[in-house]
Amino acid sequence: MKKKMTALREVLSDFRSDYSLCGKCKLCQAVHVQEVDYGRFWRNCPSGTRFRFEAYYASGKLEMARALDLQEIEPTPAMQHALYTCMLCGSCQEQCYPVKQIFPMRVFELLREQAVRDGWGPPEEHAQAVANLEETDNLLGRPQAERGAWAEGLDLKDASKEKVEALLFAGCHYSFKPELQEAARSAARVLKAAGLDLGILGSEELCCGAPLLELGDRDFFETFGLENIKRFEASGAETLISLCPHCSWVFAEEYGPEMEIKPKHAVQVVAGAIKKKQITPAREVKMKVAWHDPCRLGRRLGFYDQPRRILSSIPGLEVVELPRNRHNSLCCGNGGMAGYAFPEFGEWTAKERVFEAEFVEADALVTSCPWCEEMLRRGAEARGSKVRVENVFSLLEKSL
């Protein structure tokens, strides 16, 4: 029998009490309103706010999950659209769980797995992503031989050939997209400045599989997971440092129980290095910035303080909060593979987030997720906004 990555596999029917308990109270449509001063920013479910029908909010999708699970209805293209425009941002769960102990986002993840098993998901807009992963082992369909090229000249060890203390996992976007590679280079230089014995797998690094899990294709995800674990452990590294929160999420929640190596996101490592004075930002960076909490880094993994500690250590930097911050954060528009399949919807969401940065008169939105960086830049461009989108390590490096 094929080894499973998780000891216990959850299925949709395990969550029958969740979808049955939904009282249609609609708390899941908004932020914690007592924490956000402006009514303009209370709505926080991107798919519901954009498409307006009940099915696009958590309450509607829970009803859909109930009726499909109990085989009262057959899936339709409209249901597929409602399910796959969900950004899996977790804002609904943030609201619902404390009041009703319901996990709406977990239900939607499992409904996607059910959709894949039953043959009605993912939508054809995702076909290219899946084909790329099948043919090239990376999301972008690029030759794996080029995967380590972003790190040329950085003097990082080849972890597929020699032992390293810390293995840096760049992920598909930072590895291949020229507009994002400089952020990965900054992160690597900052980590080296902190004294880490750092290596990469280069062309031996595969996709982490997170996009497949988000689409609901758990079996295909696990083929990546099991192979990655083998490669990580062969490196002999003690720590696995990822730059993308989506990689960090699957490493922590899905690979974690199977791995000896300790997964961390780079913001954890760098915030720790600043605290221990292994690196000391000294040069002034005169700018007013707001931190955008990526959904996977914040609501999913709980890393709210670490990036803020990095920003507050930079001399000259004025750090302000967006009205929707921390657990009230708005998705960038690229969550749950929704922005990949429905780019106009993604851009619509990103424009709303950029407007929020304009509202607090920030010069830049700072973040640490390639999906967010990409979609927020798109939103800023579409708005003709002066707000720039910066990577936290690129900003930090300016002050070192």
Residues of this chain that bind ligand SF4 (CB under 6 A): 22-28, 45-48, 58-59, 61-62, 86-92, 95-96, 100, 102, 104-105
- For residue 292, the minimal CB distance to ligand SF4 (Å) is 16
Given a contact cutoff of 8 angstroms between Cβ atoms, the answer to whether 271 and 199 are in contact is: no
Given a contact cutoff of 8 angstroms between Cβ atoms, the answer to whether 147 and 196 are in contact is: no
- For residue 140, the minimal CB distance to ligand SF4 (Å) is 25
CA dist., res. 249 & res. 5, Å (int): 14
Cβ proximity to ligand SF4: between 46 and 281 the closer is 46
Cβ proximity to ligand SF4: between 96 and 364 the closer is 96
Distances (CA, A) of 190 to 10, 37, 187, 269, 313: 39, 36, 5, 10, 14
CA dist., res. 245 & res. 265, Å (int): 7
Cβ proximity to ligand SF4: between 87 and 183 the closer is 87
- For residue 266, the minimal CB distance to ligand SF4 (Å) is 25
- For residue 44, the minimal CB distance to ligand SF4 (Å) is 6
Cβ proximity to ligand SF4: between 112 and 377 the closer is 112
Given a contact cutoff of 8 angstroms between Cβ atoms, the answer to whether 112 and 122 are in contact is: yes
CA dist., res. 173 & res. 179, Å (int): 9
Cβ proximity to ligand SF4: between 281 and 336 the closer is 336
Cβ proximity to ligand SF4: between 101 and 280 the closer is 101
Cβ proximity to ligand SF4: between 51 and 120 the closer is 51
Neighbour tally for 302: CB within 10 Å: 11
- For residue 141, the minimal CB distance to ligand SF4 (Å) is 27
- For residue 32, the minimal CB distance to ligand SF4 (Å) is 12
- For residue 21, the minimal CB distance to ligand SF4 (Å) is 7
CA dist., res. 128 & res. 126, Å (int): 6
- For residue 357, the minimal CB distance to ligand SF4 (Å) is 20
Cβ proximity to ligand SF4: between 22 and 237 the closer is 22
Which residue has 């993840």 as its token pair? 109
- For residue 38, the minimal CB distance to ligand SF4 (Å) is 19
Cβ proximity to ligand SF4: between 215 and 289 the closer is 215
